[in-house]
Amino acid sequence: MFKKLSVSSLLFLIVFGAYAQRERVENLPNFDKRLIHYGFYLGANTNGFKISYKPSIFSNVEVEVESNVGFNVGLIGDLRLHQNVNLRFEPGLVSNTKTLRFKHIANETQGTREVGNTYLHLPFIFKFSTNRLNNIRPYVLGGASFDFNFSSNEKNQDDNFSGQFRQNASNFMYEVGIGIDLYLPYFKFSPSIRGVFSMTNELKPDNRTPSQWTDPIDFFGTRGIFLHLSFE
């Protein structure tokens, strides 16, 4: 799923970039001179988890993650720091669903968990752009975010022994990406591909031990690919 979305997103950027480069009339010539501007974004994502394991009394420990395509939507506030550098605040919502299969648990019901996550995503992003060429402007970006998971079940007293998988609600992530600004007659359209990676352990341990669900896991953190479409 990660590879399919990444390849599709890259092809999307190339096709739009080639289309915009044919256009010789310069649209929005003064757009990049503004100190502050605003916009919004929407897009699709596929999120999974990076999972590492610790020495365990459980044998052949493996957790398989099946990701579904979700959506992301939010607002943009952009501050021009330099001709080629911008600082952006992009608050939004990110929603997706995953299926966890604990392969070392023989019972299918006990070994399968549906995890639906909805994050309040609060990233600060540095955007580094090339000089404008006709109506296109490639860029790279990177930054960090605070994310709050509304669906974490962190405060739920039920755990995996009761069929409930839990995560920590508050997390920090970093993201990197590439994209292209396309200057259209009335607005700027900016598709980008981004990778998002958790820096904190999102796993909420079960109340009892030993737990065949949480005890074998050392680190459990989000990683994902975003197709990000900005309108400014």
The three-state secondary structure class of 43 is: strand
> Residue 132 pLDDT > 80, yes or no?
yes
> Residue 89 pLDDT > 80, yes or no?
yes
Instruction: Report the amino acid identity of residue 20.
Output: A
Region 120-145: what's the mean pLDDT? Answer: 96
Contacts of 72 (CB under 8 A, 6+ apart): 41, 42, 43, 44, 45, 92, 93, 94, 95, 121, 226, 228
- Which is more confident, 55 or 85? 85
Take residue 172 and report the two structure tokens written for it. Answer: 């920090």
Question: What is the rounded CA–CA span in Å between residue 84 and residue 28?
Answer: 17
Parallel/antiparallel/unpaired status of strands 92-102 and 136-149: unpaired
% of the chain with per-residue pLDDT over 70: 89
> Residue 208 pLDDT > 90, yes or no?
no
Question: What is the rounded CA–CA span in Å between residue 200 and residue 203?
Answer: 9
> Can you name the residues that pair with 27 across neighbouring β-strands?
none
First to last CA, the chain: 29
| 26 burial type by CB count under 10 A (0-12 exposed, 13-18 middle, 19+ buried) | exposed
Question: What is the rounded CA–CA span in Å between residue 43 and residue 186?
Answer: 21
Question: What is the rounded CA–CA span in Å between residue 220 and residue 204?
Answer: 9
> Residue 11 pLDDT > 60, yes or no?
no
Q: What is the CATH number of domain 2-231?
A: 2.40.160.20
Q: So what's the pLDDT on residue 107?
A: 85
> Residue 61 pLDDT > 90, yes or no?
no
Task: Enumerate the domain spans of the chain.
Answer: 2-231
Take residue 2 and report the two structure tokens written for it. Answer: 């990660």
Q: So what's the pLDDT on residue 6?
A: 53
Region 85-106: what's the mean pLDDT? Answer: 93
Classify residue 155 by its DSSP letter.
Answer: T
pTM: 0.84
